[in-house]
Amino acid sequence: MGLSTPALLRHPVWTTRTADGNGTGVLVIPGFGGVDASMAVMRHWFRRRGYVPVRARLGMNLGCTDVLVARLERRAEELAGRTGGPVVLVGHSRGGMLGRLVAVRRPDIVSGLAMFGSPVLDPLDARGLARQILRVLLRLSAFGVRGLLDQDCLTGSCRDATAGGLAAPLQVPAVAIYSREDGVVGWRSCQDPEAEWVEVSSSHTGMGTDPALYTALATRLPRWVAVRRR
């Protein structure tokens, strides 16, 4: 529960119940090093509004980008089959970048993409403690600790594939939500030219319970659902 959670629970964007989702599937993806439990509040909000939100099941969202994207693609396929149509991808930080890569691969099963705090223009645009953690993970990987962050993700074929996917045109509607007060990633790196930009005032970790972010989602997702119906 973040510091902004109480404000969210009192806000009309939370207290107002709707059925906008009409059974649309939503794949909710946590950020780097994050677990599905960290996105529980957001999944609950989607459920209250008539969506079918599911966990990403990526563990702590560490490891090779290619492997994680393949797992998310299968997860999106399963959800699309279960709900009878394309799904919405919602991701925080690295989760948003992974969601974008899935959307580029499979626009046939994605009806919309929401990224918040996702430095798609420069995945290594980390600040403060996040930069130090990145260095530690690279050192551990170099010493043979597997499943964290391989050097190939930064300099090899995995890095090239990721860069290509993050720069590729999007065939689905998308929103990129960012904050100048992020403190973990550079906000300019979140301004995906293929997405609509929305600025909020939130810390990086606080975005998941920021009422302004939920308001941005609430005004856009129904349009994506309408496209899905057609």
For residue 137, pLDDT over 80 is answered with: no
For residue 1, pLDDT over 50 is answered with: no
Q: What's the mean pLDDT in 125-153?
A: 56
Q: What's the mean pLDDT in 207-224?
A: 95
pLDDT tens across 172-191, in order? 999 999 999 998 999 999 99
Mean pLDDT computed over every residue of the chain: 87
> Which band of pLDDT confidence, cut at 50, 70 and 90, is reported for residue 150?
low
Give the pTM.
0.88
- What's residue 152's pLDDT? 56
> Which band of pLDDT confidence, cut at 50, 70 and 90, is reported for residue 61?
confident
- What's residue 193's pLDDT? 97
Per-residue 3-state assignment (H helix, E strand, C coil) for the chain = CCCCHHHHHHCHHHHCCCCCCCCCEEEEECCCCCCHHHHHHHHHHHHHCCCEEEECCCCCCCCCHHHHHHHHHHHHHHHHHHHCCCEEEEEECHHHHHHHHHHHHCCCCEEEEEEECCCCCCCCCECCHHHHHHHHHHHHHHCCCCCCCCCHHHHCHHHHHHHHHHHCCCCCCEEEEEECCCCCECHHHHCCCCCEEEEECCCCHHHHHCHHHHHHHHHHHHHHHHHHHC
Q: What's the mean pLDDT in 132-139?
A: 55
- What's residue 49's pLDDT? 95
Asked whether 82 and 52 are in contact (CB, 8 A), the reply is yes
- What's residue 93's pLDDT? 94
pLDDT tens across 3-38, in order? 578 999 999 999 998 888 999 999 999 998 889 999
